A = this chain, B = another copy of it.
Amino acid sequence: MKFILQDLKVNINNNIYLKDPESSTLGKKIIEFSILLIDEIGFDSFTFKKLGEKIGSNESSIYRYFENKHKLLLYLTSWYWGWLEYQLVFTTNSISDAKEKLNKAIEIITRATKEDSSFSHINEVLLNKIVINEYSKSYLTKEVDNENKEGYFSIYKRLVNRIKDMIMEVDNHYKYPTSLASTVTEGSLHQHFLKDHFSSLTDCDEKITPTTYFINLVFNSLNNQKNG
């Protein structure tokens, strides 16, 4: 898997950036160190000036790649969801049994990223943490409808849609496959957050993972005589 992922280039809507960060050394540095810095100080305190200091570059150089830090967050999170989607498709592709396939899919989207694939400038473990802590901020804005129209969230939407399709493969009488898919995707981030900061609001801990919980939740709902 690692070998194949080496050639992965996530296709990100090119209106999110002004200049493709993958196209230059500075661009890659911006991505690499923005992940480290956002993880370190949080997105709210993160500024292009601080990032510039960190990479020994000028603030104005960073502005040539991204209009503002919001767009950078959209870029990072899009990359993350694209990376997850790749794993999802790659891993579940060969599974013919619908239940087994869905089971694997839930596992992939709900697990914590534990290993940095280390071939690239992107630290996936930290990026996963950033998505848990900051993703909501990318869409809880007054501009969300415009940005959605522009296609800034299309990778995420495609991912949720894939889960929905797998749910329907298991039970095409279940009435809420889309909501269930979005509940698992977003709810997983939330359960991870609760585990780290509000342990009294979750059953998840070292033993019980969000994966365990969500697999149980989903399969309880599917092919269940109560759901009709």
Interface residue ranges, A against B (CB under 8 Å): 41-42, 44-45, 133-134, 136-137, 139-142, 144-145, 148, 153, 157, 160-161, 175-183, 186-187, 190-191, 193-194, 197-198, 200-204, 208, 210, 213, 216-217, 219-221, 224, 226-227
Contacts and interface: CB of A to CB of B under 8 A. Distances in A.
Contacts of A191: 179, 182-183
Contact of A220 (B182, B190, B193, B221): B221
A209 to B, nearest CB: 11
A191 B197 CA distance: 23
A214 to B, nearest CB: 9
Nearest to A44: B141
B157 A201 contact: yes
Interface majority SS on A: helix, strand, loop or mixed? helix
A136 B140 contact: yes
Given A187-B187, A217-B180, A224-B224, A197 B45 contact: no
B137 A137 contact: yes
A97 B45 CA distance: 49
Q: Which of A157, A161, A179 has the most CB of B within 10 A?
A: A179
A175 B216 contact: yes
Contacts of A153: 198
Nearest to A183: B187
A140 to B, nearest CB: 6
Given A140-B133, A142-B41, A179 B202 contact: yes
9 contacts: A42-B141, A42-B142, A133-B140, A134-B140, A136-B136, A160-B201, A178-B203, A179-B203, A183-B187
Contacts of A148: 197-198
